[in-house]
């Protein structure tokens, strides 16, 4: 899978039922530690809330999927949130829903509806986009081939991360995974000393 859908910007949604407020937050996320950090930040910011429930999907090939009910009855919070992540075919995304208890029990059906509705609103407000999976390449080559290689990289819409020069050129770029094979096919045309890439 080299293309995926995610959230373009942070999205927020709110749903109310019988006095309880469900405030959802959705955003793109590419590392599990970042997802955990976001959830923890929401706990601190909303320390008076009764629950902070969440779900996230991170990665494309070795995908990490987690749901957390945070004390709500099993499968009434994290799973409904994940259901909407799946419904919109999202990857590399985290959605958390903060609940302020309003004094009335909602029952399992009510909780599933409330958490799911809030999550869907946040996802919709986050604006869904389709992106291409990218990877980082580090290329070492002599100066003689620098200008030619730059031309090829620009044709492939590579993003330049860093450039360093000593006796040779050391370039780090980000490139769409779909374009990697085309770039590697052209490598024989250049005097590349080394090329490393992280999938």
**Which domain covers residue 12, as residue numbers?**
3-131
Looking at residue 36, which CATH number applies to its domain? 3.30.230.30
What's the pTM value of the predicted model, to 2 decimals?
0.76
Please give the tally of structural domains in the chain: 2
Percent with pLDDT over 90 in the chain:
63
Q: Please check whether residues 160 and 68 belong to one and the same domain.
A: no
Of the two residues 193 and 49, the one the predictor is more confident about is: 49
Q: Please check whether residues 51 and 143 belong to one and the same domain.
A: no
147: DSSP letter: H
Coil/strand/helix, residue 128: strand
**Residues 42-86 pLDDT 10s:** 999 999 999 999 999 998 878 999 999 999 999 999 999 999 999
Both tokens of residue 191?
């005097």
Q: Please check whether residues 7 and 51 belong to one and the same domain.
A: yes
Q: Please check whether residues 12 and 76 belong to one and the same domain.
A: yes
Sequence-distant (6+) residues with CB within 8 A of 169 are: 139, 140, 141, 142, 143, 146, 163
Look-up: residue for tokens 């590697």? Answer: 184
Both tokens of residue 26?
């959705």
Its sign, for the CA torsion 114, 104, 77, 95, is positive
**Residues 148-186 pLDDT 10s:** 888 888 888 888 889 999 888 999 988 888 888 888 877
Distance from the Cα of residue 103 to its chain's centroid: 35
Q: What is the pLDDT of residue 182?
A: 83
**Residues 108-153 pLDDT 10s:** 999 999 999 999 999 999 999 998 888 888 888 888 888 888 888 8
End-to-end CA distance of the chain: 12
Coil/strand/helix, residue 154: helix
């Amino acid at each position: 899978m080299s293309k995926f859908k995610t959230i373009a910007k942070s999205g927020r949604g709110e749903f109310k039922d019988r006095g309880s407020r469900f405030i959802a937050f959705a955003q793109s996320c590419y590392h599990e530690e970042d997802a955990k950090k976001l959830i923890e930040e929401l706990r601190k910011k909303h320390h008076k809330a009764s629950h902070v429930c969440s779900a996230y999907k991170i990665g494309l090939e070795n995908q990490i999927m987690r749901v957390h009910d945070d004390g709500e009855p099993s499968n009434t919070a994290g799973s409904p949130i994940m259901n909407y992540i799946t419904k919109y075919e999202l990857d590399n995304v985290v959605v958390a829903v903060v609940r302020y208890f309003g004094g009335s029990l909602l029952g399992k059906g009510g909780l599933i509806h409330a958490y799911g509705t809030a999550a869907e609103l946040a996802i919709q407000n986050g604006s869904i986009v389709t992106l291409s999976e990218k990877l980082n390449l580090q290329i070492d080559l002599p100066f003689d081939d620098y200008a030619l290689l730059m031309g090829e990289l620009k044709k492939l819409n590579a993003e330049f991360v860093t450039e360093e020069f000593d006796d040779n050129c050391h370039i780090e770029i980000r490139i769409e995974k779909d374009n990697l094979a085309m770039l590697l096919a052209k490598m024989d045309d250049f005097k590349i000393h080394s090329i490393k890439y992280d999938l």
